[in-house]
Amino acid sequence: MSLPPTLSVPVAVLAESRPGVTVWQARVWRPLAVLEEAPPVPAWTRLREEAGREVFFAGAAEVTLHRTDTPNYKDNLEAAQPLIWVLLRPEPDGEGVMLQAVTVDPGEAEIFTEGPRDILESLPMPPGIQSLLAEFVREHHVERVFHKRKRDRQDPDSMGRRQPK
């Protein structure tokens, strides 16, 4: 099987909403799981409710794989538990959240932490996505050797030192 240099993998995300514990936050949202196939319902359909906690189908997203990012994918796959990151962003009215992005790249996930109100959660990577990612890395990864550059020695006289009087 030959994979293209850029590959989009469809995924589905479940999110949980529960009552907040402070007066400043009525509801607390968090990504709950990533599925390999979307359920046959529209986005933000309530799937389950118990004890004030609600589970929603947050929607479908695509994980885009790029051949230039294979070192990060390889690091993720070599971890004890490969992860997939889900980013939820509060809606402008502050009432709910939107599914913003899903990634398997730890470097991209780190960039997602910059949003002050964004909700980023690392979740276990589903087995089917894990095997597809491993195949993508196997096909496109090129090991690059790190060469440390040596600095040129500086002439002390050129650094503007003054002669003692």
Please give the pLDDT value at position 24.
Answer: 85
Q: Kindly calculate the radius of gyration of the chain based on its CA atoms and give it in whole angstroms.
A: 23
Burial of 52-84, coded b for 16+ CB within 10 Å and e otherwise, reads: eebbbbbbbbebbbebebbebbeebbeeeebbb
Cβ atoms of residues 73 and 65 within 8 Å = yes
Please give the pLDDT value at position 165.
Answer: 67
Q: CA-to-CA distance for 104 and 11, rounded, in angstroms?
A: 12
Please give the pLDDT value at position 84.
Answer: 98
Please give the pLDDT value at position 163.
Answer: 66
Q: State pTM to two decimals.
A: 0.84
Please give the pLDDT value at position 23.
Answer: 87
Mean pLDDT, 10 residues at a time, over the chain (165 residues)? 86 95 88 95 95 95 95 96 97 87 96 92 97 95 84 73 65
The burial class, CB within 10 Å (0-12 / 13-18 / 19+), for 139 is middle
Q: What's the full length of the chain, in residues? A: 165
Please give the pLDDT value at position 5.
Answer: 87
How many Cβ atoms sit within 10 Å of the Cβ of residue 149? 5
